[in-house]
Amino acid sequence: MEWPRASGILVHPTSFPGQFGIGDLGLGAVRVFDFLSAARQKLWQILPLGPTGYGDSPYALLSAFAGNPLLISPEHLIEAGLLTADDLVSLPTFPTDHVDFASVIPAKLALLRTSFAYFEASSCQSMRKRFDAFLAEQHEWLDDYALFMALKAAHNQVAWTKWPTKYRQRDPEALAEARTTLAREVVFHQYCQFLFFAQWEVVRQAAHERGISIVGDLAIFVAHDSADVWAHPDYFHLDDAGLPVVVAGVPPDYFSVTGQRWGNPIYRWDRLAETGYAWWIARVRQALKMMDIIRLDHFRGFEACWQIPGTAKTAVTGHWVKGPGISLFHAIHKALGEVPFIAEDLGVITPEVRDLQHALGFPGMHILQFAFGSDANNPDLPHNYSRDSVVYTGTHDNNTTRGWFETQPSETQGHILRYLKSTPNTVVQAMIRAALSSVANLVILPLQDVLELESEARMNFPSHADGNWQWRCTDDQLASKCAEELADLAHLFGR
C-alpha cells in the first residue's frame, strides 16, 4: 500500500500525565494529543493495550483481546455518574514521574469495584442497553476472558495450570457451575471491559479529530498464563497438564551467549490453518477496531521462530522451526481486506524473512541507535534508507538517545558526531533531524527523545525483570518549547 510521508511520537498511555498514579484515557490523553498536534505530528504509536500480568509488561498480557482496566479514567467515570468526587478523596498520593504499580493496582481496582456497585444500582436503561450490546458484540472472547479472570481471583491469582483439573481442562459442567457461583465477579470483569472500550473510542476519536492516526503493536506470541491459551489449548504445543512443551525465544548472539528464553508457548500452526486461521483473523479484526496501523512485533517469527524445549533453562538448545509464512496473511487479507501492517524486522533476519516481507509489501524498521557500530554500509544509516521504511531514533526497548550516546565509547561518539555534524550537547536534536530529513516515509520518535531525557526515562530494559514500564511524562515537560521546534522540522521536511 502507499504510505504518506509522516512522523509521529511513541508514548504508551500509562506514560500520560495525570493525578491517579498511572496515565489513563482521561484528560492526560487530550493533553498529549494537543502536544502532538502542536508539533505537527500525524502518528501516535502505543504498546499493546491489554491487561498486564507478569512484571506489568504489555508484552505479557492476560488476554490478546481485552483492554487494560488500569487505563480507565476516573474523571470520565465521574462524568458518567459511575463515581463521585468523594470516592477519590481516600486515594494515596502517587508520584507523577513514574508508575508505582504496587500502589496503583489495588487503588485503581478498588475504584473500579466502587464504580461497579454504582452501575449495579443504576436505573439508567440506556447504559444497560449499551452494556448488553457490548456483551453480545464481544462474546466470542469476552465470555472466556471474564470467566478466566473470575477463576483466577478465586484461586489467589495463581496460573491456570495450578487450578483444579476440572477448571484447567475446561470441564463443561464445572465451567457452567463456575459461571453461576462466580457470576458477580464475571460481570465485574465484563463491566471493566465495557468501560475500557467505551473510553478508548472517545480517545480514538479525539486523536482523529486532530489528524492523528494510531499505530498499535501486535505481539506475535501470547503469554502462557492468559485467557487465550486457557480457552484454546489446542492451538498451542502443551502437555497434558497444560504446560508448554516448547517455548519461544531468540538464539545466542553477540549480546547474550545463552540467548533469550521468553517462555511464550509456540503455536500449533497446523491446527490454526485447519480453522482458516480464524483466531488470528479475529485478533487482527479486534486490533483494527482500536488502531489504524498495526506494527507486527517479531515479524521474523512468522517465517521461522526459535523453538526451545519447555524444560530448558536457557535458549541455547533451541532450533529454528517454520512459521505459517504467507498463508496466514493471505487468510487475513481474504477476510479483512488490505491491512496496514508494519514489520518489526529486527534481530536475526535471513533471506527467507526478507522474501516474505517483500512479497507482502510490509515496510520494515530502521533504528538510528543501531547505525554506528560498523561502516558506511550499515543499513540503519540514513543514507542507506529506502522510502518504504519506518525510522526510529530508538524504541521502548532501547535506552533514551541521550542516555545511549553518553554510554558509547569515545571512538563511537566521535563517529556519531562526525556523521551528524553535531556536538555532544546537540546530538539528540541532530538524530531527530537526521530521521525526519531522510527519504523514509514514516518516522516515529519516542517522547523521551523529543524531550531529550536521560537514561532514567528509559521505558524497558529487556534483561531486567523489575523496574520496567514505569516512566511517565509530566505536564511541565509537555509545556516545553520542543513541540514548536518539532513542528518546524516536520514542516521543513514535508511531514
- 72 and 23 Cβ atoms separated by less than 8 Å: no
- Residue type (1 letter), 330: H
SS3 217: strand
The catalytic site residues sit at 297, 344, 397
CA angle 175, 179, 184 (to 5 degrees): 155
User: In this structure, how many other beta carbons lie within 10 angstroms of the beta carbon of residue 204?
Assistant: 20
By CB atoms closer than 10 A (0-12, 13-18, 19+), residue 58 is buried
Q: The sheet that has 319-322: what strands, in order across it?
A: 260-265, 246-250, 304-309, 319-322
DSSP-derived 3-state class of residue 261: strand
DSSP 328-352: HHHHHHHHH----EEE---SS--HH
Instruction: Write out the three cell numbers for 132.
Output: 448488553
Distance in angstroms (rounded) separating the CA atoms of residues 180 and 186: 9
Q: Cell triple for residue 399?
A: 535506552
Grid cell listed for 133: 450490546
Query: What does DSSP assign to residue 234?
Result: G
Helix axes 27-38, 482-492, angle to 10 degrees: 50
Q: Is 92 left (phi over 0), alpha (psi -120 to 50) or beta?
A: beta
